[in-house]
A and B are shown apart, each in its own frame.
Chain A
Amino acid sequence: MFKIVKREEMAEGTVILNEIEAPLIARKAKPGQFVILKANEDGERIPLTMADTDPDKGTITIIYMVVGKSTALFKTLQVGDAFQDVIGPLGKPTHLEKLGKVVCVGGGTGVAVLHPITRALKKIGNDVTCIIGARTKDLLILESQMKSASHDLRVCTDDGTYGHHGFVTDVLKEQLEGGDVKLVVGIGPVPMMRAVANLTRPFDVKTMVSLNPIMIDGTGMCGGCRVSVGGETKFACVDGPEFDGHLVNFDELMLRLQAYCEEEKACYEDFCTLRDAT
C-alpha cells in the first residue's frame, strides 16, 4: 500500500496534488519519468508523470486533473488513505544537456510534468524561460514553483484574467523571434503540444514533448501506447514518454486517446450519480 501523506486541491478542485509514500520509486526516479497508479482491487492502471520526488522523505508527488471515473476515485482518497499499487519509475528520463537558452512551455496539468524538467534544466546551467498557461486565472497551477524553477516566468490565460491575454504559443513566438533558443520543451494537452511543435518547426528549434497515451503495463508488453514518430511505431512507455515534437503524429495520438471515450463517459456518469447519492 502506498500512503498519501499530503493532499491539495488546485484549480477550483479540478486538479489534485498527492504526495505519496513510495521510497523505492523516490530513490530511483528522474525528471520525465512516470508511475502507474491503481487505487483499489478493481481499479484501472493510470499512468501519470511525476511532478516531484523527495528521495530523503521517500515520497513522490503526482498532480492530476479529474477527467473520468478513475481520477474521480483518486480524488476521494484523503491523507492517510493509500493507493493499492504504484509502479515505477517508468519510461526514459529526460535527456538533460547544457545548451544555453531553453524555453519550457506548459499548459493545464502539463505544468506539473514540466516542473521537475524545468528545474533540472536550470540546475545544469541553462538559461530557462518558462511559459505557463491556463484557460482562466483560477485554473492556473504551480505558479510560484515554476517561478523558482526557471529564470523568467511568463503566464498566459486564454480569457485574459491574468498575465498575457492569449495562448502560450503567442509568448513562445516572441521568444523564438528573439533568437538563440536552443531547445523548447512543450508539455500539455495534445492540441497545445501540436501547436508548439508547428510553431517551432520553421525556426528549426529542437522541440521535446511528453506524451501520455492509453497504456496498461508501462513496460513495453501490451503495445497499447503505440505512437507514430517519424513514420515509425514507438511505444511511449519504454521508448518515451518524451519524443521529438517535430516527428510525432499528433493527429493519430488525438484519435487514439478517444478509444474508450464512450465507455469512459458512461462509467464516469454512473460513478458521479452513485457518489452524489451517498
Chain B
Amino acid sequence: MKETAGKKEKASRVAMPEQKPEIRRRNFEEVPLGYTVAMAQEEAARCLQCKKPGCVEGCPVSVDIPGFINLITQGDFTGAIRHVWTKNALPAVCGRVCPQEIQCEGKCIVGKKGEPVAIGNLERFVADWERENGTGALPPQAPSTGKKVAVVGSGPSGLTVAGDLIQKGYDVTVLEAFHKPGGVLVYGIPEFRLPKAIVAQEINFLERQGAKVEVNAVVGRTVSLDELFEDGFEAVYLGVGAGLPRFMNLPGENLIGILSANEYLTRANLMKAYRYPDVDTPIPKGKNVVVLGAGNVAMDSARTAMRLGADSVKIVYRRSRDEMPARAAEIHHAEEEGIEFFLLTNPTQFKGDQKGRLTGMECLKMELGEPDDSGRRRPIAIQGSEFHMDTDLVIVAVGSGANPLLTQSTPDMQLNKWGYIIADPETGKTTKKGVWAGGDIVTGAATVILAMGAGRKAADSIHQYLTWGW
C-alpha cells in the first residue's frame, strides 16, 4: 500500500479547464468548464482512500468522500452520485461554491506534501454527469407519514430540510418570498459561478419527489408563523437568511450610485438586469467601480461590474490580504480578471454632484494593530493619509444583519442581541414549540454548506419530534 501511495502523491492535481480571463471578464458564462470523464478518473486516482479520512471530518455534512471517489475510479458514476446524495442534497451547488480549501481539501493527506485531491471538482463532476447523462431516477422514499411540514425560505438550508423530509415521508411545502425559488443561490451567487439552470434543476428534483414550492409567500406578511400551524403544518423550519444589508453609515451614502451588494446582485442575478433592455429591470453600469469589502459577495459584485463593462473595478478593504474572507478561488479569479485590490484602505465619506450622483470617495490608509474581538488584527487609520478616489458606482459588501420582518411578527420566539434567532446548535430547535431555524438567520452570514449542515440536523430533529414528540 505504501508504495502505491508514494506513486500517487507524485501525480499532480488535474486542473479544471476554464474560460480565459480576458474573454470571461466580459461575459456571464460559467468560468470553470468541468472535468471530462478521463480527467475525473485521473484526479480520482490521486485519492489515497485513507482509513481515517480527514476530508470527511472537514465536511460540514460528512459526505463519504473516499467512498464516492472510489466509485468514480471504478467508472460507476451513478453509484457515486447516489452515494453523495445520502449526505448532500445539492452536490452540483456545493462542488461549485464550497470553500473546500478550509474544509475537505484542507484536511486531505495528499495536500500535506503537494496539492490536495480536487474533491470539489469531483463532486461537481458526478453531479453534472448525473444531470447530463443520468436516468433521472429518484432516491428511495419512506412511506407517507401524512404529516405536513412548512419550510420558510428556499435557500440552501431550506432545500436541504425539504429534501431530507420528503425522503422521510413528509408532506413538505417550501415558502419563498421572492417570485423565484433558490434564495441566495438565485439572487446572490452570479450565473458565472453557479448557473441558474442548475439551481432550477435541483428545485425541480425536489418537486418531482413531491415537495410543493410556493413563491411570492412572505411569511410574516402574507401569512404569519402561527397561521401556518392553523393551516395544518405540524412543524416549521425557518431558513430565511440574514437578509438585512449593512451600510457604512458615512456621509453621502444615499447618493445615487451607492448600492448594497444585495441590491446590485439581485438586480443582476434574480432580475437578469445584465440583459437589460431585453429584460425590464435596469442596473447601474459604472465606469470606475468600487466594491467595499473582501468576502465572496464582494468578489461576486466586482466580477459582475467587470462583466457589465466597467473600465476599472477596485476592491477596497480596510484590512490586509491575509484577512480577506473570500474563498481563495474567487480572489484568484477576480485578480485574473483585472480587479484591482486597494487593501488597508477605508472610505470616510462619499462625494456627489448637484444631481445627487456619486462622483468620488474620500479614503484613509490603514495599518494593522493588535488583534480585535474577531481575532484579526484591528485596522487603525494612519493620520494624514487622506486621499481621493474617483468613482461613479460603489457597491457596499460589508456583510449583512438579521432581517427583522419575520421575527418581529413572532414575539414568542427568542432572539439574541443582534436579532438572530436563538436555536439549539445540535437540533436547530428554537424557543417556540414546533419551530426550527438554521442558516444565516441563526449564525449570521456564513456559507452555503454550513447552512446545509444546519438544515440536515434540523431535518433529523423534526423527524424525531414528529415521531416521538418535542
Residues of A within 8 A of B (CB): 24-25, 28, 38, 42-45, 69-70, 73, 84-90, 216-224, 226-228, 233, 238, 252, 255-256, 258-260, 263-264, 266-267, 270
Contacts and interface: CB of A to CB of B under 8 A. Distances in A.
A219 B216 contact: no
10 contacts: A44-B279, A45-B179, A69-B280, A73-B280, A87-B179, A87-B218, A221-B403, A223-B260, A224-B260, A233-B253
Contact of A220 (B243, B249, B282): B243
B138 interface: no
A223 B245 contact: yes
A226 B217 CA distance: 23
Interface in B257-302: 259-260, 262-263, 266-267, 271-272, 275-282, 284
Contact of B405 (A70, A219, A270): A219
B223 interface: yes
Contacts of A38: 179
Contacts of B67: none
Contact of A219 (B218, B284, B355): B218
Given A45-B281, A85-B179, A90 B266 contact: no
Given A90-B218, A223-B260, 12 more contacts: A43-B280, A45-B281, A84-B179, A87-B216, A219-B221, A220-B405, A221-B244, A221-B403, A222-B245, A224-B260, A238-B404, A258-B355
A252 B356 contact: yes
A263 B280 CA distance: 10
A238 B405 contact: yes
B263 A267 contact: no
A261 B221 CA distance: 31
Could you say which of B259, B262, B284, B404 has the most chain A C-beta atoms within 10 Å of its C-beta?
A: B262
Contact of B256 (A86, A88, A216, A255): A255
Interface in B220-272: 221-223, 243-245, 247, 249, 253-254, 256, 259-260, 262-263, 266-267, 271-272
A259 B267 CA distance: 14
A221 to B, nearest CB: 5
A73 B277 CA distance: 14
Contacts of A258: 256, 355-356
A223 B278 CA distance: 25
A25 B217 CA distance: 10
Contacts of A85: 179, 215-216
B211 interface: no
Top 6 A-B pairs, shortest CB-CB distance: A255-B356, A222-B263, A44-B280, A263-B282, A42-B279, A85-B179
Contact of A70 (B177, B260, B280, B356): B280
A25 B221 CA distance: 9
Contact of B263 (A70, A88, A90, A216): A216
A259 B358 CA distance: 11
Nearest to B244: A220
A90 to B, nearest CB: 6
B254 A252 contact: yes
A45 B272 CA distance: 12
A221 B222 contact: no
Contacts of B259: 223-224
Given A219-B218, A255-B355, A42 B278 contact: yes
A194 to B, nearest CB: 15
Given A219-B403, A222-B266, A270-B277, A259 B260 contact: no
B85 interface: no
Nearest to A263: B282
B262 A221 contact: yes
B243 A219 contact: yes
A259 B247 CA distance: 19
A201 to B, nearest CB: 22
A44 B403 CA distance: 23
B375 to A, nearest CB: 29
Interface residues of B, number: 40
B205 interface: no
Could you say which of A42, A218, A223, A224 has the most chain B C-beta atoms within 10 Å of its C-beta?
A: A223
A256 B272 CA distance: 22
B178 interface: yes
Contacts of A226: 247, 254
Given A88-B221, A89-B222, A220 B278 contact: no
A38 B281 CA distance: 11
B178 A217 contact: yes
Given A217-B178, A233-B253, A256-B256, A86 B216 contact: yes
Nearest to A256: B256
B440 to A, nearest CB: 12
A226 B216 CA distance: 22
A69 B276 CA distance: 12
A42 B254 contact: no
B177 A266 contact: no
B199 to A, nearest CB: 16
Given A28-B221, A44-B280, A220-B244, A228 B216 contact: no
A45 B254 contact: no
Contacts of B254: 226-228, 233, 252, 256
Contacts of A256: 254, 256, 356
B275 to A, nearest CB: 8
Nearest to B273: A44
B245 to A, nearest CB: 4
Nearest to B224: A28
Contacts of A218: 218
Nearest to A253: B254
B214 to A, nearest CB: 10
B271 A222 contact: no
Nearest to A222: B263
A197 B256 CA distance: 24
B404 A220 contact: yes
Contacts of A70: 280
A252 B254 CA distance: 8
Interface in B348-373: 355-356
Contacts of A255: 256, 355-356
